Structure 1
């Protein structure tokens, strides 16, 4: 899988080539995804996306759906490519995870707006709150969704601090889900690579 900074149909592998590549490289992609996954509290998991994770997602969708026509490939790119960080932000898939269905239903009703209360705080800088669900609204008056897409926009000085090794706190200050933690150093090192 070649990273080009811009996902286009020409930069993706054919279904046949991807199937061969996948057999050899799936473990390293899964390790990359695990490295970029941060669990906040007991029930929120943020999967910080990268060009690697999104290319993999697109290739998997093409493989599973057996999409090989140009129009279908372009639709998958348009659906997922906006989740690749732009060099001055982090983008993540946020999953609210409860195994018990009744508890999940109850908590999703209590956690309306939680996606807007997620933040990152770069050492020495003000908190940056998530910009959530830019593609479509994922909650209603009765409950929030179990999956959200969030973006954290960082200033140039924040990016410089992270690249210089500054610590970063991930948190949530929603009334029903107060939590925060330092992003682990190995994960932060990977996230620093997203910044210019």
Structure 2
């Protein structure tokens, strides 16, 4: 597993083989994921994806659902777009409110939130581009609780991001949810590895 930009069917282990390394793989990936997770405000958590996190996700889906080669094809189509292609960061962000009634009320006011995510590095601002697989905000303005966004970087912004100690801020600028978080150094260092 390296910083490859796509998974292929050849990357997916047969279920019995994956079963033998499943616990160890899950432990390793969950350790890495700790440095790829940022809370922004009280209800939103960003999970930055890469080849390794998607390798794990596809294996878990196939392991649990046992759908065979057809399922593998579908999972690759679903998850390959979330692997950064070398000049970007890609994140899943989740709006996490335990109480179902409060969650429904909040989501009803957060339509378009996926288009308000941003990263700043010094004076530079990188606007998120929502994953185009499907519309994450319904016509009635209700947001999905799970969103997928890409942050496209220029070479200069990648260099700035990679600078040790750089102040990188992740935020959401929605009128009903405007919050920011500074990336801790361990997270900035881990995510810097997503670039070519």
Shorter-chain TM-score tier: over 0.9
Any unmatched runs of 5+ in structure 1?
none
Give me the whole-angstrom Cα distance separating, in 1, the residues matched to 2:181 and 2:174: 15
Give me the whole-angstrom Cα distance separating, in 2, the residues matched to 1:142 and 1:110: 7
- Paired residue secondary structure (2:85): coil
Any unmatched runs of 5+ in structure 2?
none
User: Counterpart in 2 of 1:32?
Assistant: 32
User: Counterpart in 2 of 1:175?
Assistant: 175
State the superposition RMSD in angstroms.
1.3
User: Counterpart in 2 of 1:85?
Assistant: 84
Answer whether contact 2:26 2:56 (CA < 8 A) is retained.
Answer: no
Answer whether contact 1:163 1:195 (CA < 8 A) is retained.
Answer: no
Answer whether contact 2:7 2:76 (CA < 8 A) is retained.
Answer: yes
| CA deviation vs aligned residue, 1:122-149 (integer Å, no higher than 9, x gap) | 1242x11111131110212241110111
Answer whether contact 1:4 1:11 (CA < 8 A) is retained.
Answer: no
CA distance change for structure 1 residues 44 and 68 in 2, over 3 Å: closer, same or farther? same
Give 1:114 shift: 1.2
What count of residue pairs does the alignment treat as equivalent? 193
1:142-157 pair list within 5 angstroms: 142-157=141-156
User: Counterpart in 2 of 1:136?
Assistant: 134
| CA deviation vs aligned residue, 1:77-130 (integer Å, no higher than 9, x gap) | 1110110011111111110011111111111111111111110011242x1111
Q: After the TM superposition, which parts of structure 1 deviate over 6 Å for at least 4 consecutive aligned residues?
A: none
- Paired residue secondary structure (1:16): helix
